[in-house]
Structure 1
Amino acid sequence: MYKDNVVGVVIPAYNEEDHISDVVSTVPSFVDRVYVIDDHSTDDTWAEIQRAASHIKQQTISGNSEVYDSRIVTIQHETNRGVGGAIKTGYLKALEDDIDTVAVMGGDGQMDPALLKGIIDPVVEGYADYAKGNRFLRQETRRNVPPFRTFGNLLLSGLSKIASGYWAIGDSQNGYSAISKEALETVDIEEMYEFYGYCNDLLVKLNVANMVVADVPTPIRYEDETSSINYRTYVPRVSRLLFENFVWRLKEKYLIKDFNPIVLLYSLGMVGGITSVVYIINTLRSADVDNATAQTLTNFLISTLLIVQGMMKDKAENDHLAKRIEKRSGPLSLTGSTDPSGDDDFQGITSNQGK
């Protein structure tokens, strides 16, 4: 129990035999239930999960018995479903158990459990429906991110801003997060994307549901872990997912739920842009290339202006749903100030906006 909230942590794991035991063992004691999901690993991850769970059960015996018979729940997938699929399994179990706030910590040991309170505080104190880490809010944490990860992250974060409508939220691939029970009940978790890219998909669903999202400065530890992501296939796959989600968000939020001219600006801009490209291809073969080029450039500029105007209006429409959290001593306060000390000892929150 933490601040009158029943707290759960979902730990997805795939081939993490070297790290999963330490991750499970170091989950803070205020966490009421830990869901450890083995996504059909091919190494000894499941055996390590069982060993760690048995050790903790022996240590606690009947700890938290007024809420649960056991603190650790271990689940093994029969097939590999992807990290999003493992997290979905944990989310659904947490809903069954009526958990108030559900956090996600990776099974690879990159997410420091000492920072968990900073991740869940915006949710348990009612200032956000979903909070996530951001490695790029502070210079000292940005330096720890490998260059190839930085490039891919910035690219996908930029696309995620457009797709999700959370223009002030960055580091979209950061999985260290917390979500409220109300948010889990509102968004369609059953339909959440099951592979890498689940976090981008979830942001879009949260925006359509008008949920408040908070960014929390959070360093990530890179040690001897190896990423299973193939960026040559990952970036194109997630980019396609983001485009499809972008179209779905416009339809759901600005057409079905309540009509908003934003959808017209985006639609006319995209149609005009595509038409301009097709026109260029067809007219380059003709003799009147100069006139065709001038006309096409004019159409392209108009289309670009429509899209930019749509982005500006979209941002203004959703600004109140995004918060940026700063580390500062003292109670939660809604101010726009930042802490210049860079102290990583999280004791409270400041935010630039109210919920």
Structure 2
Amino acid sequence: MYREATVGVVIPAYNESGFVGDVIRGLPDYVDRIYVIDDRSTDDTWDEIREAARKDASADSTDDAVSAPQIVADGGASALTTRASVRDSIGRVVPIRHRENLGAGGAIKTGYLAALADGVDATVTVDADGQMDLTEMSRLLDPIVEDEADYAKGNRLLSRTYRASMPRFRFLGNATLTGLTKIASGYWKTMDPQNGYTAISRNALETIDLENLYEYYGYCNDLLVKLNVHGMRVADVAMPAVYGEEESSIRYSSYVPKVSTMLLRNFLWRLRRKYLVLDFHPLALFYLFGAGMAGAGLLATGAGLIASVSSLVPALAQGSTILFLLVAGLAFLLFAMVFDMGESEHLETQIR
């Protein structure tokens, strides 16, 4: 336990042989349950998880648990129906193996479901590649146990030192997704949304639509949107990153289009759900009018270029209309963003 709160750690692992064992062995003693999800790896990840679990159990003289039946899951609710109790573990480690590869989001969802079923007070997510400083975990847990936040996430961009430690191509991609996620989620102060070092309260897990969590690398962005709709408080915690010999399994040619499309879909869902269904706020109309007018202006621009070839006077008149549509559309969008920032400002905090 950490400050009277039970703590669970979810570790999604896909082909992390050589790394995941060190992560399991390096977790703090106050962690009560460690849910390690092998997302159908093709290397020795599963064997390494079980071996590390046995070593962790033998090192814990206060735990009488021994090796128990393995848990095989499909990542949904049925992942828990075959799991009798927390005694189905090796010490404090709960090895879970997917029947098929479900992606990072699918592995996280399985771990969240297991932690929720066990009634864990605070659940931390840690990558299996060793890029996270496990001694910093308490900084993520503090806002949760002190009831200052429902969700805390690491942020490598708050400090110049942290930013310098990040490879340039990752920084540029991260900055782009940060901007898109701000708009989609409504958390305008939150940065580094791709950071997988997080902590979430039991109340937040019970409140969000966990079953529909995005099952791809954009799960963390998707989760922020769901949290915002339900008025959950988010803490951005300055956190370093450690880059070693591990290789990312992300393929950016498919990653960027998929996550961008998901963020656009989630943005529209958030506006409808939060500002039209659950309550009414005019910012939804500002967004709608702004997008409509700006879009009409862009379409008219194309038509105006064609018209200018045949007639100068009509082209000038049309140019004024186009300019008005573009300026008015931009103004509506800016007003909507200002309103959106104000609505969520009290839900955000930064911890350096």
TM-score normalised by length of structure 1 = 0.89
What residue number does 2:71 align with? none
Q: By how many angstroms is 1:294 displaced? A: 2.4
Q: By how many angstroms is 1:61 displaced? A: 5.3
Q: Output one character per residue of 1:47-103: Cα deviation in whole Å (capped at 9) or x when no partner.
A: 1111111111222255287x9643110001111111111000000000110000000
Secondary structure, aligned partner of 2:99: coil
- In 1, Cα distance between equivalents of 2:302 and 2:55: 66
What residue number does 2:321 align with? 295
- From 251, 254, 257, the equivalent of 1:230 is 251
1:145 maps to amino acid = M
What residue number does 2:176 align with? 155
What residue number does 1:310 align with? 336
- From 81, 103, 117, the equivalent of 1:96 is 117
The reply on whether 1:19 has 2:45 as its aligned counterpart is no
- In 2, Cα distance between equivalents of 1:42 and 1:218: 31
Q: By how many angstroms is 1:256 displaced? A: 0.3
Structural mapping, 1:99-118, within 5 Å: 99-118=120-139
Secondary structure, aligned partner of 2:306: coil
Secondary structure, aligned partner of 1:316: helix
The reply on whether 1:82 has 2:100 as its aligned counterpart is no
Q: Structure 1 residues 98, 285: closer, same or farther in 2, change over 3 A?
A: same
The 8 Å contact of residues 119 and 132 in structure 1, kept in 2 or not, is answered as: yes
Structural mapping, 1:8-87, within 5 Å: 8-60=8-60, 62-63=62-63, 69=87, 70-87=91-108
TM-score normalised by length of structure 2 = 0.90
- From 320, 325, 329, the equivalent of 2:351 is 325
- In 2, Cα distance between equivalents of 1:243 and 1:131: 24
Q: Output one character per residue of 1:267-320: Cα deviation in whole Å (capped at 9) or x when no partner.
A: 100111111122222332223333222211211110000000100011011100
- From 207, 212, 224, the equivalent of 1:191 is 212
The 8 Å contact of residues 140 and 152 in structure 2, kept in 1 or not, is answered as: yes
The 8 Å contact of residues 185 and 221 in structure 2, kept in 1 or not, is answered as: yes
1:3 maps to amino acid = R
Secondary structure, aligned partner of 2:205: helix
The 8 Å contact of residues 265 and 307 in structure 1, kept in 2 or not, is answered as: yes
- In 1, Cα distance between equivalents of 2:315 and 2:246: 55
- In 2, Cα distance between equivalents of 1:253 and 1:117: 32
1:82 maps to amino acid = G
The 8 Å contact of residues 20 and 109 in structure 1, kept in 2 or not, is answered as: yes
RMSD over aligned CA atoms reads: 1.4
- From 260, 267, 272, the equivalent of 1:246 is 267
More deviation in 47-56 or 207-216? 47-56
What residue number does 1:333 align with? none
Secondary structure, aligned partner of 1:250: helix
- In 2, Cα distance between equivalents of 1:135 and 1:71: 30
- In 2, Cα distance between equivalents of 1:190 and 1:317: 27
Structural mapping, 1:152-231, within 5 Å: 152-231=173-252
- In 2, Cα distance between equivalents of 1:290 and 1:233: 43
Secondary structure, aligned partner of 1:178: strand
- Between structures 1 and 2, the one with greater helix share: 2
Runs of 4+ in 1 over 4 A off after TM superposition: none
The 8 Å contact of residues 9 and 103 in structure 1, kept in 2 or not, is answered as: yes
2:339 maps to amino acid = K
The 8 Å contact of residues 16 and 45 in structure 1, kept in 2 or not, is answered as: yes
Secondary structure, aligned partner of 1:277: helix
Gapped regions of structure 2 (runs ≥ 5): 66-84
What residue number does 2:303 align with? 282
Secondary structure, aligned partner of 2:258: helix
Number of residue pairs matched by the alignment: 325
- In 1, Cα distance between equivalents of 2:285 and 2:295: 15
- In 1, Cα distance between equivalents of 2:64 and 2:115: 16
- In 2, Cα distance between equivalents of 1:297 and 1:223: 51
The 8 Å contact of residues 86 and 118 in structure 2, kept in 1 or not, is answered as: no
